[in-house]
Amino acid sequence: MDLKEKLSILADAAKYDASCASSGVKRKAIRGGIGNSNGTGICHSYTPDGRCISLLKILFTNFCIYDCSYCINRNSSSVKRAKFTVDEVVNLTMNFYQRNYIEGLFLSSGVLRSPDETMEDLISVARKLRVERKFGGYIHIKAVAGASAELLRKAGLYADRLSANIELPTQTDLDKLAPAKTHTETEESMGVIREAILESKEERSKSSKAPLYAPGGQSTQMIVGATGTSDKEIMVKANSLYQGQKLKRVYYTAYSPIPDGSAALPALAPPLMREHRLYQTDWLIRMYGFQVHEIFSKNESLSLDLDPKLSWALANRDFFPVDVNLGSREELLRIPGLGIRNVDRIIEGRRHRKIRWEDLLRLRLNLEKVKHFISTGERENHLGLLLSDHAIVEKFTKKESVQLDLFESSESALSGEV
C-alpha cells in the first residue's frame, strides 16, 4: 500500500476524535530547529464531518485488538486496514509543516497487539520529531489506557498534550458496548499523567531548565447518545474528571451510526444540539461557578430549545433582577446573555461611577435577553421583567439543526453570549 492510500485511510479514521485543541501551549523553536507553538493556541477549523484541518490528524494504525461496538475500527469491522511506519509519520509531519499546510500533529491509534507496544510507536514518532528533526510545533499524542506508567511519563516529555479517552460516561455503558475497557484503567493512566504534570511544574518553578511535561495538560472524550445515559450522568462524570484528574477539557461527541453496527446501538444519531448543550453546560460549570446539581435540579436532560443558563434563570426567577451596580461577580455571571468579559467590564466601570442603561448599550450586550434579568436602579429597566416565562421561552427558543463550532461557542461565552 502506498503512502497516499495509507494517509487517506488513517486520516479519515481519525475524524471521530474531537479532543485535539491546543490552547495553553508555549514552545519556542530551538536553535537550528523548525516551528513553535504560540501561547494562545493553534486556530482550528472544522470541516462538516468534524475533522480538524490545521493539524495533521491521523491514526498510526486502524488495526485494533478491541471490539468496541461503537467504533468503526473495532476488531470485527470490515473496514480497510493500514499502518504507518514511524518514519512515514515523521516525514509527513515535517513535509506538511514546511508547506504551511499544518501547524502540528494529532496522533492517535488503534491498539495493535498491546497498549505498551502501541504507546511505544507513538512515543517514537514524537521523540524523533523533537530530538532528531528538532520540530518545535504542536504535538498531541493519544495516551493509550493501560500502557505502563513509565511509557506515559516518557510520552509527555515530547508531547504538548496527552489524552486518554474515557469513551463512555459510565462503567455500565462500557460493560455493554466495550467490555474489554474499564474506567478504572483509563483513570489510572490519567492519574499518572496528572502526577507527572504536577511534578514538572514544581521542578520548573525551581529551574527553568527542567524538562517540560505535557505543558498543554490532558483531555478526554466521551461519546454521547450511544446509550441511554442522561445528560446529568454525563456531566457528573465530566465534573469528577475535572476535579479529580485536573483535565483541561472534556470533549463530547455525538454518537454516529456505523456500518454493520451492533443491535445494541441506536439506529439514529442523537441531535447535534444535545452535544452543543453539553458543551455550554461544561462551560458554565468550569467558568461560571455553576454546580451540576443546580443545572439538573428539576430535569436530568438538558433542553434542546433553551441554553442551560437561560433554563436555570427561568427556574430561579426569585434570584432576579440582579442590580448591575450591587451584584457580586458571581451573581452577574448568572445573568443570561452576560459573559465573563462584559461582567468584568461592568465591575471595572462601576468603580468609577454608577452603571446606567446607556452604559450597557455601549458594551454591545444581548440586551434583548439581558434586560429581563437585570436592574440598574432606573425605573424603566423593570419593564422587561413583566414578560412571563412562557413569553421569554417563545422569544428565545432556537431550534438549530446544524452543529455549532466549539471555538466560536467558547468565544461567545467570553464575550457575553452565554
The residues spanned by each domain of the chain are 3-163+181-217, 308-415
Among 82, 77, 166, 90, CA closest to 122: 90
Q: Which distant-in-sequence residues (6+ apart) come within 8 Å of 179 by Cβ?
A: none
Distance CA 390, CA 374 (A): 18
The sheet with strand 104-108 has its strands ordered as 56-59, 104-108, 138-142, 161-163, 218-224, 249-254
Min mean pLDDT across 43-52, 105-114, 139-148, 266-275 is at 43-52
Instruction: Return phi, psi of residue 135, to 5°.
Output: -80, 125
User: By the 8 A CB rule, do 274 and 254 touch?
Assistant: yes
Task: Give the pLDDT of residue 261.
Answer: 76
CA 279 to chain centre: 8
Min mean pLDDT across 60-64, 157-161, 359-363 is at 359-363
Query: Given pLDDT bands bounded at 50, 70 and 90, which one contains residue 31?
Result: low
Distance CA 370, CA 385 (A): 10
Give the three cell numbers for residue 225: 447518545
Whether the pLDDT of residue 309 is over 80: the answer is yes
The larger pLDDT score, comparing residue 382 to residue 263, is at 263
Task: Give the pLDDT of residue 403.
Answer: 41
Q: What is the pTM of this model?
A: 0.85
- Residues of the chain with pLDDT > 90, as a percent, come to 64
Instruction: Return phi, psi of residue 207, to 5°.
Output: -150, 125
Instruction: Return phi, psi of residue 220, to 5°.
Output: -150, 175
Task: Give the pLDDT of residue 299.
Answer: 93
Task: Give the pLDDT of residue 232.
Answer: 98
Whether the pLDDT of residue 270 is over 70: the answer is yes
Q: Which distant-in-sequence residues (6+ apart) come within 8 Å of 41 by Cβ?
A: 21, 22, 23, 24, 25
Whether the pLDDT of residue 141 is over 90: the answer is yes
Q: Average pLDDT, stretch 319-340?
A: 94
- Residues of the chain with pLDDT > 70, as a percent, come to 83
Distance CA 109, CA 106 (A): 10
Distance CA 343, CA 333 (A): 7
Q: Average pLDDT, stretch 95-124?
A: 93
Average pLDDT of the chain is 85
Whether the pLDDT of residue 410 is over 50: the answer is no
Tell me the one-letter amino acid at 9: I
Task: Give the pLDDT of residue 367.
Answer: 82
Distance CA 178, CA 236 (A): 21
Tell me the one-letter amino acid at 308: P
Task: Give the pLDDT of residue 206.
Answer: 94
Query: Given pLDDT bands bounded at 50, 70 and 90, which one contains residue 338?
Result: very high
Min mean pLDDT across 218-232, 316-330, 372-386 is at 372-386
Whether the pLDDT of residue 78 is over 70: the answer is yes
Whether the pLDDT of residue 279 is over 60: the answer is yes
Instruction: Return phi, psi of residue 244, to 5°.
Output: -85, -40
Whether the pLDDT of residue 173 is over 70: the answer is yes
Query: Given pLDDT bands bounded at 50, 70 and 90, which one contains residue 103?
Result: confident
- 331, 335, 366 from 349: Cα distances, Å: 16, 18, 18
Task: Give the pLDDT of residue 69.
Answer: 92
Q: Is the dihedral of CA 29, 35, 38, 41 positive or negative?
A: negative
- 6, 76, 149, 408 from 154: Cα distances, Å: 27, 32, 9, 34
Q: Average pLDDT, stretch 324-334?
A: 96
